[in-house]
Structure 1
Amino acid sequence: MLDITKIREDFPILKREVNGKPLVYLDNAATSQTPQQVIDVIVDYYHNYNANIHRGVHALSQEATDKYEVARQKIQKHFNARKSYEIIFTSGTTHSINIVANGFTTLLKKGDEILVSAMEHHSNIVPWQMLAERTGAVLRVIPMNMEGELLMEVYDELLSDMTKLVFCNHISNALGTINPIKEIIDKAHAVGAAVLIDGAQAAPHIKADMQQLDVDFYAASAHKMCGPTGVGMLYGKEEWLNKLPPYQGGGEMIAEVTFEKTTYADLPHKFEAGTPNICGGIAFGAALDYMNHIGFDEIAEYEHGLLEYATQELLKIEGLRIYGTAKDKTSVISFNIEGLHPYDIGSILDKLGVAVRTGHHCAQPIMDFYGIPGTVRASFCFYNTKDEVNTLVKAVARAKAMLE
């Protein structure tokens, strides 16, 4: 069992009050909070060895470079990549996806097909639409059912020798559905297609194994894993990363530059033009250390308990409907109350100190599927408690009484 009281002491922001009420932070699917252990690493960087990396012979530069590359190795170990250079530092999942989408511009031709699931975040829709426009490839959608589960039999029908790329999130940010990505990957590979998995929502809850999954690309963001904003990672199989052209040109990503010709650096630097978020990368490694110390199996078990309890208690409120009732899901609850707008509910909850997300959660096609403008989304982390769930339920019931 997790010592939640001790864990909560690690997060200074959880001591805050909002509108005179103790903060109940339930917007973890948007960004998690940051423990003092990671904050200390950020402060230490700027206090003691702030310098540019890979270029300087002076002591500070070498120290920063060493810590940055150790962080890359921590990410490699956490996700079980074969090589550290298969881990590319990015600004986050969106940046990671765009690197791949841009790279495939040179690898696709008119009539090629790319598949994307119906429950994607806009970051895993728009880049592929842009890729299709550039190349003449055809974008096809894997549909879902009312429970928020992908129709895998339709996926089987969509796959063909024309399929070149498949894109799917590991976990839906809007519904909490855990998708059967291993099956998706294996079936795509059977027709010769590459697969990118958006792991932004899964990485805080599931320790994904790149070699076991045999996935071609996997993307994640530090800020959903107790780390800072503005940094993330792209995992790519070495053979695929070597096929893709650089995403940006500039310093660091070159081997040799003349006005006649430029040759590119080896992996991972080929995709890391310019000065990176050095402090962010180091803090990403520290955040993984923190979460691994707690234990991902323990986190998953605890969060599942919160999900079950919150689902049970919220459904006691008359007129409340939960969207996303898949058998396999993580600690996200999207809901509406009949006749009430989600924004109005969220605004009242904020006045009561409860932070949730309202709207379409950058997953507008899901909302269109259900015929709704959006939902109220409560998303839980391992530092949340059943007492906070009770506060949420009471606040939702009060909002309902005020708005009816």
Structure 2
Amino acid sequence: MTDQMNEIPTIIAPLDVPAIRREFPILSKTVYGKPLTFLDSAASAQKPRSVIEAETALYEGYYANIHRGVYKFSQDATEAYEQTRETVRQFIGAEKAKECIFVRGATEGINLVAQTWGRQNLKAGDEILLTYLEHHSNIVPWQMIAEEKGAAVKAVPIHDDGSLDMDAYKAMLTDKVKLVAFAHISNSIGTLLPAKDMIRLAHSAGALALVDGCQAAPHLKIDVRDLDADFYVFSAHKAYGPTGVGVLYGKEKLLDAMPPWQGGGDMIETVTFEKTTYNDLPHKFEAGTPNIAGGIAMKPALDFITALGHDRIAAHEAMLLAYATQKLGAINSLRLIGTAPEKGALVSFVMEHAHPHDIGTILDRQGIAIRAGHHCAQPVMDRFSIPGTARASFGVYNDTADIDRLADGLKKVMDIFG
């Protein structure tokens, strides 16, 4: 026998969804007298009890400003805040904790890179390469800095199934391109982009790469060093964590060379009226009092994901995606938007005669929460000549019963609109 034949297949234990649901207090609520079926995690995930309790524990037990006080509460809060940074480092596979900058969210992280690295490095005639799948937060900041510097923003097209046109991507990677910025997973139609290959190709063309990991962080094992990403951003609130806090990862040499974006406390080393010198990483980019409670509560959120296991999460969500694709695909008058072979855990769709907002409203009366609209991704909607979609997105607390309720609810939409 060969060694391969002697290999024992890896068995991935399924998630215990009922036990997971018990960790989320809000999932016991009812809406219009119906049990809550929450299918909007791509917009913002619900919070486990450990995250809620972490914020409460700070405010009730040891709240103080961080990095500045010599007294116990300040030191305890600082230690808890910086423990999160180390957890983030491990979670994304960064080499050093100081490469992990705390921001308000991915939007601020992208703007930070655009307004520091972009202002420092871009010039007239340069190009920033995006894709047609991008969230507005990964379009507008680049347009703003491009207009200022005389650079151009270009977008790689997508195929009819929502997958990226890799031939076009390679052709568009000319020596004019200084940065490629793209979503790891599309928030609007779920396409999983080949991030590692895209980064490798960008580097071969002499460009840097920024990855919007908002939709990937709760679902995939992230390893920024394996990807060789120059910058990687994500928001805590999509990863079962608090709002108002997120992460910008950057390679140390790039961050060191970038100027500060905002001025104020914590980002300084010395200040005189003649000259200010700046703090070391990561504090150079963290001006002012941060979201202390959010930063501390991000740790239990990431710990929650890690404890469940990325392989188990991926297997569970792949099962949900396959089930939802089959279940919704069987509904007359419903058309799935985004059917790429590699997808994240969401389904986006339109229905004949029913506007996405009408679909969302009718489902809401049945206790089913989905997202309806353009999902801050208008170029995607324009690509498919639609005003928007209805989108159901899944998390670790969802099961097939949620999808069954969604399908039943959509049949009621059909009864109303014909």
| Alpha-carbon offset, residue 301 of structure 1 | 0.2
By how many angstroms is 1:191 displaced?
1.5
Structure-2 residue corresponding to 1:245: 259
- In the alignment, what sits opposite 1:55? 68
Structure 2 residue 341 is the aligned partner of structure 1 residue 327: yes
Q: Is the 8 A contact 1:27 1:357 kept in 2?
A: yes
SS of residue matched to 2:129: strand
Amino acid at match of 1:95: E
Residue 52 of structure 2 corresponds to residue 33 of structure 1: no
The residue number in structure 2 matching 1:23 is 36
1:339 Cα deviation after fit: 2.2
Letter in 2 for 1:315: G
Tell me the distance in 2 between the aligned counterparts of 1:253 and 1:55.
Answer: 12
1:123 aligns with 2:150: no
Counterpart-to-counterpart distance in 2, 1:375 and 1:18: 23
Q: Corresponding residue for 2:6? A: none
Q: Aligned to 2:296, what secondary structure does the other structure show?
A: helix
- Work out the percentage of aligned pairs sharing the same amino acid: 53
How far, CA to CA, are the matches of 2:172 and 2:328 in structure 1? 38
- 8 Å CA contact 2:353–2:417 kept in 1: the answer is no
Partners in 2 of 1:389 and 1:285 — Cα distance?
30
How far did residue 338 of structure 1 move? Answer: 1.6
May I ask how many residue pairs the two structures share in their alignment? 404
Kindly indicate whether the alpha-carbon contact (under 8 Å) linking 1:345 and 1:400 is maintained by their aligned counterparts in 2: no
Query: 1:100 and 2:141 equivalent?
Result: no
Q: Does 1:352 pair with 2:366?
A: yes
Residue 370 (structure 1) aligned to one of 384, 399, 403: 384
Alignment of 1:81-100 (within 5 A): 81-100=94-113
Residues 43-70 of structure 1 show CA distances to partners (whole Å, capped at 9, x for unaligned) of: 1111111100010000000000011111
Question: Aligned partners of 1:145 and 1:32: how far apart in 2?
Answer: 29
Shift of 1:315: 1.2
C-alpha distance in structure 2 between counterparts of 1:129 and 1:244, whole Å: 20
Per the TM alignment, residue 163 of structure 1 is displaced from its structure 2 partner at its CA by 1.1
What's the counterpart of residue 283 of structure 2?
A: 269
The one-letter code of the counterpart of 1:332 is L
The answer to whether the 8 A contact 2:162-2:189 is kept is yes
> Is the aligned partner of 1:182 residue 2:192?
no
- In structure 2, the partner of 1:396 is 410
In the alignment, the residues of structure 1 paired with residue 122 and residue 304 of structure 2 have an alpha-carbon distance, to the nearest angstrom, of 41
Contact map agreement 2:161 2:337 (CA 8 A) in 1? yes
AA partner of residue 376 (structure 2): C
The separation in 2 between residues aligned to 1:144 and 1:209, in whole angstroms, is: 26
- Normalising by structure 2, what TM-score? 0.96
Aligned-CA RMSD value: 0.7
Within 2, Cα distance between the matches of 1:313 and 1:107? 49
Question: Equivalent of 1:258, from 272, 293, 301?
Answer: 272
Amino acid at match of 2:308: I
1:70 corresponds to: 83
Given candidates 176, 187, 206, the residue that maps to 1:192 is 206
Distance 2:305 2:218 in 1: 9
Which of these residues, 148, 154, 157, is aligned with residue 168 of structure 2?
Answer: 154
TM-score w.r.t. length of structure 1: 0.99
The match for 1:235 is: 249
Q: What are the Cα deviations for residues 363-392 of structure 1, in whole angstroms up to 9, with x where unaligned?
A: 000001111010000001111011111000
Equivalent residue, structure 1, for 2:11 = none
Whether 1:317 aligns to 2:331 is yes
Structure 2 gaps, min length 5: 1-13
CA distance in 1: counterparts of 2:255 and 2:400, whole angstroms: 44
> Unpaired runs of 5+ in structure 1?
none
Output the CA distance in 1 between the equivalents of 2:410 and 2:17.
24
Mapped to 2, the partners of 1:364 and 1:345 lie a distance apart of: 19
The one-letter code of the counterpart of 2:97 is S
Q: Which amino acid in 2 is paired with 1:24? A: T
Q: Distance in 1 between matches of 2:331 and 2:415?
A: 11
Q: Is the 8 A contact 1:149 1:177 kept in 2?
A: yes
